[in-house]
């Protein structure tokens, strides 16, 4: 850590309870605030537990599942996840879930026994970051996957971002529908385009803010001998360029003008072609001065880890508390030196780390005390080292 970082507070989950979540009818894990290793064969339900923890943050969780998908297929419908924490405000109890038959509606959130207005309130108590095998192809995959990855980074910093992006996507869908309707009233289109433009600029501005802060932190802490190479990141898109060079209200007006001018083209395409829903996060390998997509598989993995670590540090710096880090199957794909470097980095930050793996030996070289559990459907059996 640099001198500019005051030590972030460790916020740890001391006890996690699930009911009717994926393959777990019930589950009770007492961690004592230590790092956690979830060990078990394929299909035991390890990732499901990390996914349950990820629901203790705003947004859709680490698999982007719908709420009904989370409830146990053989169960009555509805699910809950709750946790006892020790952190920023001393002890806290937070929980979320859906009730039987209400899976399609919103999820409920409870904090210290009272209903909270939205999932955003969870961020006052806990921030969460994660790394999963599905993120491996991020740099060579679709721009949409990178946007969703970026939106997740923004959400961990700015809890309102999820609502903003959802509202923007809803407004875009309304515009696309209106364009399709023959003879739709242009005044309706004007009104919807005003909303689209406002939400588009707010979405792009929040992304630019996080990318700017993350780039600055990476530049400030960069070390060319690091096990995790530094990434060079930027956002590409018409609107992003305009916002960086000008003022948000002007960009909103300009975008509204473009939407009006391009109605016929968008009508023919059946969608709105331009806007932040078409932007891309570009990532380069700083030391090699090469686009990430052109790096080897191992280099891409190290780059992604470096990015996730830098983001965890940014979250800690901005919120004052270290995020809980969920690492799904990360150990199995790293050489022992990098594995150790990753844990040490997260420990320095103060993060409670939740890891999964099929082989207990993967966790033998971990510094610090780790609570190990043998996982099977509905059971978490404490294990000795």
Ligand X SMILES: Nc1ncnc2c1ncn2[C@@H]1O[C@H](COP(=O)(O)OP(=O)(O)OP(=O)(O)O)[C@@H](O)[C@H]1O
Q: How far is the CB of 7 from ligand X (least distance, A)?
A: 33
| 287 dihedral zone (left: phi>0; alpha: psi -120 to 50; beta) | alpha
Q: How many CA atoms lie within 13 A of 272 on its CB side?
A: 30
Q: Please, which residue, 43 or 270, has the CB nearer to ligand X?
A: 43
Known binding residue 48? Answer is no
Q: How far is the CB of 377 from ligand X (least distance, A)?
A: 8
Q: Please, which residue, 167 or 374, has the CB nearer to ligand X?
A: 374
Q: How far is the CB of 332 from ligand X (least distance, A)?
A: 9
For strands 35-39 and 370-376, give the pairing: parallel
- Residue numbers of the site for ligand X (CB under 6 A)? 22-23, 40, 42-48, 69, 72-73, 356, 358
Q: How far is the CB of 103 from ligand X (least distance, A)?
A: 11
Q: How far is the CB of 78 from ligand X (least distance, A)?
A: 12
CA dist list (Å): 37 to 31, 51, 324, 362, 373? 10, 14, 13, 10, 6
Known binding residue 40? Answer is yes
In this structure, what DSSP letter does residue 92 have?
A: E
Q: How many CA atoms lie within 13 A of 94 on its CB side?
A: 29
Q: Please, which residue, 81 or 154, has the CB nearer to ligand X?
A: 81
Q: Please, which residue, 46 or 317, has the CB nearer to ligand X?
A: 46
For strands 35-39 and 79-87, give the pairing: unpaired
CA dist list (Å): 239 to 2, 29, 251, 295, 322? 34, 46, 7, 28, 33
Known binding residue 45? Answer is yes
Known binding residue 46? Answer is yes
Q: Which of 7, 10, 6, 8 is nearest to 86 (CA)?
A: 10
Q: Please, which residue, 134 or 221, has the CB nearer to ligand X?
A: 134
Q: How many CA atoms lie within 13 A of 151 on its CB side?
A: 28
Known binding residue 44? Answer is yes
Known binding residue 43? Answer is yes
Q: Please, which residue, 53 or 312, has the CB nearer to ligand X?
A: 53
Q: How far is the CB of 206 from ligand X (least distance, A)?
A: 31
Q: Which of 139, 127, 160 is nearest to 307 (CA)?
A: 139
Q: Quote the CA–CA distance of 145 and 280 in Å, as a whole number.
A: 9
Q: 3-state class of 72 per DSSP? A: coil
Summarize the annotated binding site as residue ranges: 40-47
User: Could you tell me which residues are annotated as the binding site for ATP?
Assistant: 40-47
């Amino acid at each position: 850590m640099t001198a500019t970082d005051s030590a972030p507070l460790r916020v740890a989950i001391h006890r996690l309870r699930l009911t009717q979540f994926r393959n777990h009818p019930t589950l009770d894990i007492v961690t004592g605030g230590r790092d956690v290793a979830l060990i078990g064969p394929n299909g035991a339900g390890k990732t499901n537990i990390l996914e349950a923890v990820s629901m203790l943050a705003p947004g859709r969780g680490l698999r982007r599942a719908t709420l009904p998908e989370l409830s146990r297929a053989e169960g009555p419908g509805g699910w809950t996840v709750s946790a006892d924490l020790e952190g920023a405000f001393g002890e806290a109890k937070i929980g979320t879930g859906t009730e039987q038959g209400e899976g399609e509606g919103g999820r409920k959130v409870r904090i210290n026994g009272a209903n909270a207005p939205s999932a955003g309130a969870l961020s006052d108590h806990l921030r969460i970051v994660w790394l999963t095998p599905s993120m491996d192809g991020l740099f060579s995959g679709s721009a949409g996957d990178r946007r969703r990855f970026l939106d997740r980074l923004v959400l961990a910093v700015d809890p309102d971002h999820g609502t903003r992006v959802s509202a923007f996507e809803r407004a875009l869908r309304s515009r696309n529908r209106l364009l399709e309707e023959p003879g739709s009233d242009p005044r309706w289109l004007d009104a919807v385009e005003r909303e689209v433009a406002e939400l588009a600029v707010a979405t792009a501005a929040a992304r630019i803010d996080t990318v700017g802060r993350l780039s600055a932190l990476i530049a400030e802490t960069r070390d060319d001998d690091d096990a995790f190479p530094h990434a060079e990141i930027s956002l590409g898109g018409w609107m992003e360029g305009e916002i960086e060079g000008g003022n948000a209200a002007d960009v909103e007006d300009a975008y509204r003008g473009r939407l009006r001018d391009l109605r016929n083209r968008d009508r023919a395409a059946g969608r709105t072609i331009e806007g932040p829903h078409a932007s891309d996060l570009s990532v380069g390998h700083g030391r090699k001065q090469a686009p990430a997509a052109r790096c080897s598989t191992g280099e891409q993995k190290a780059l992604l880890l470096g990015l996730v670590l830098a983001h965890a540090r940014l979250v800690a710096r901005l919120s004052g508390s270290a995020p809980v880090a969920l690492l799904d199957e990360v150990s199995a794909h790293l050489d022992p030196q990098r594995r150790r470097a990753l844990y040490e980095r997260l420990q320095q930050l103060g993060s409670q780390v939740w890891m999964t793996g099929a082989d207990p030996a993967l966790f033998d070289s971990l510094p610090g005390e780790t609570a190990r559990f043998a996982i099977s459907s509905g059971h978490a059996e404490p294990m000795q080292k």
